[in-house]
Amino acid sequence: MNYLGHLYLSPPDAEFRLGNLMADGLPAKKALKYPLRMRLGYRFHHWIDDFTDKHPAFRHSREVLTESQKHYAGVVVDVLYDHFLAKNWKDYSSEDLGSFAETFYTQYNQYEGQLPADFRFMMRYMIQYRWLESYANLMGLERALIGLSKRTHFQNNMHVALKNILSHYNLLESHFRSLMADITPAAKNWLSESVFF
């Protein structure tokens, strides 16, 4: 799961959503200075990552792409699953994807000054290039993978990952649907156990 997947599974609370999305690369000690709901979102982010990494469907997808993508296969699958979610958005939400994304962008703007510099840098690009919505088409998926490839300091093949994905597209999409069938109720259960929701 990448940005869109994390947001989809989150409740609509602004601080929770922001804590969820800024969790990548933010050490736990630094997260402690943020409000309680952001810290809960931070924990939820890591729960999603752990659940996803252990799920058989995600592991199968990673195996399919490992030969071409080596140890970046999991990263590619995360981005790919956001593509499948955006493409099939109407299967998972009654809200329009553009409206969903715009609501989050507005929430971010209300808190921008309180958030980590690295996260603010990333969010400028997300909003400018409408990452969440662009995941829905293959061009947006390819652009996201090329961008990741360029930002990664080590040699990788993510810039040509789309070719590998298209060779197994339907199989990979079935893996995504299998994960969603399990993680959606599990996430609701995790949230229901919190005293805040």
Is residue 84's pLDDT more than 70? yes
Q: Which of 185, 188, 184 is nearest to 85 (CA)?
A: 184
Q: In one letter, which amino acid is 65? A: L
* Residue 25 contacts residue 7 (beta carbons within 8 Å): no
pLDDT grade, residue 197 (50/70/90)? low
CA distance 70 to 62: 9
Give the C-alpha distances (Å, rounded to integers) separating 92 from 81, 121, 128, 149, 180: 13, 29, 25, 29, 9
Dump the DSSP string for 144-158: HHHHHHHH-SS---G
Q: What is the pLDDT of residues 109-123, one digit of tens each?
A: 999 999 999 999 999
Q: What is the pLDDT of residues 114-166, one digit of tens each?
A: 999 999 999 999 999 999 999 999 999 999 999 999 989 899 999 999 999 99
CA distance 52 to 10: 15
Q: Tell me, what's the pLDDT at 153? A: 85
Dump the DSSP string for 44-97: HHHHHHHHHHHSHHHHHHHHHHHHHHGGGHHHHHHHHHHHHHHHTHHHH-SS-H
Q: What is the pLDDT of residues 37-82, one digit of tens each?
A: 999 999 999 999 999 999 999 999 999 999 999 999 999 999 999 9
Share the mean pLDDT of the chain: 96
Question: What is the pTM (predicted TM-score) of this model?
Answer: 0.95
